[in-house]
A and B are shown apart, each in its own frame.
Chain A
């Protein structure tokens, strides 16, 4: 047996990849590239959602899907084409549910900001939906946001 299951924490692991959903910058700063643009082959976001807010979170994700489907922007269609949402069987911190966004292929140059997609699709209602979405997040909100490059597809 070469492995040991560790029932505990993956303590402080993926440095420099934590993003919290909200928080506007306090002062004017040079615009950094958006973390929600994926220049490589894929992207992955681990979202931690309060245990009692999963229905809200999933409801809003349904609206995101609707907004992407009805958008006339080709990049929104391209985003939808490679974007899957999964729920993990394993719990996150403080009993949070872990939702994984996996994007492959990514729409080059497109920003995967849920708030923007909702407002584009639903206007003022989109803002209310985004509030519901934001309030569903646990602490931390996002466990990892990774910009991915294909190394190998084992079947090819």
Chain B
């Protein structure tokens, strides 16, 4: 288990909440990473892995066809893994490793998909959101590269 743990780092994807009743202070974007590297641990519902992998493919397409140079830089250091170990309730665990992080860039999947597929972003994002059981984000400082 990822034992009951990571305070302040968990993001649950879900349908859009109702608009706030009054203006709130904008929350810090958790997908603008603030350290050398970042991982997100994405727990995907058992019956939604094909959907999730389809979206990851779209993510790659969007990054590669973007005219923004930073999108190519983001793609260059962004890897997606699947864990052999199951998550809760038979879910699957996908790990995004971003190393190095491109400081100041937004790694939000929704923003990248919206740029790449402006006509289709709503259904794509709905599919993505419905695939998640949970997500944990960690901003990582490099302590040691054991090869150097």
Q: Give every chain B residue within 8 A of A62 (Cβ-Cβ).
A: 144
Do residues A91 and B147 form an inter-chain contact, with CB atoms below 8 A? no
Does B59 reach chain A (CB closer than 8 Å)?
yes
Chain A 3-43 interface residues, beta-carbon cutoff 8 Å to B: 3-18, 40-42
Does A136 reach chain B (CB closer than 8 Å)?
no
Do residues B146 and A14 form an inter-chain contact, with CB atoms below 8 A? no
Q: Give every chain A residue within 8 A of B2 (Cβ-Cβ).
A: 10, 13-14, 17-18, 46, 143-144
Q: Using an 8 Å CB-CB cutoff, how does the interface string of A35-78 with B read, 1 for contact, 0 for none?
A: 00000111010101000000000100110110010000000000
In the complex where A4-B12, A42-B81, A146-B95 touch, is A9 in contact with B142 (Cβ < 8 A)?
A: no
The listed residue (B7, B30, B35, B87) touching A13 by CB distance below 8 A is B87
Does B16 reach chain A (CB closer than 8 Å)?
yes
Write the chain A residue with the least CB distance to B19: A1
CA distance A64 to B57 in the complex (A): 38
Do residues B145 and A143 form an inter-chain contact, with CB atoms below 8 A? no
Does B32 reach chain A (CB closer than 8 Å)?
no
Do residues A2 and B13 form an inter-chain contact, with CB atoms below 8 A? yes
Do residues B76 and A89 form an inter-chain contact, with CB atoms below 8 A? no
Write the chain B residue with the least CB distance to A6: B10
The listed residue (B7, B10, B85, B97) touching A16 by CB distance below 8 A is B85
In the complex where A40-B84, A148-B81, A150-B80 touch, is A90 in contact with B7 (Cβ < 8 A)?
A: yes
CA distance A48 to B1 in the complex (A): 13
A110 CB to closest chain B CB, in angstroms? Answer: 13
Q: Give every chain B residue within 8 A of A65 (Cβ-Cβ).
A: 144, 146
Chain B 20-41 interface residues, beta-carbon cutoff 8 Å to A: 27, 30, 34-37, 39, 41
Does A102 reach chain B (CB closer than 8 Å)?
yes
Do residues A83 and B147 form an inter-chain contact, with CB atoms below 8 A? yes
B residues contacting A by CB (< 8 A) are 1-17, 27, 30, 34-37, 39, 41, 43, 53, 56-57, 59-60, 63, 72, 74-88, 93-95, 97, 99, 110, 125, 129, 134, 136-147
- 4 other contacts beyond A12-B88, A140-B3, A144-B1, with CB at 8 A cut-off? A8-B10, A84-B145, A92-B7, A149-B81
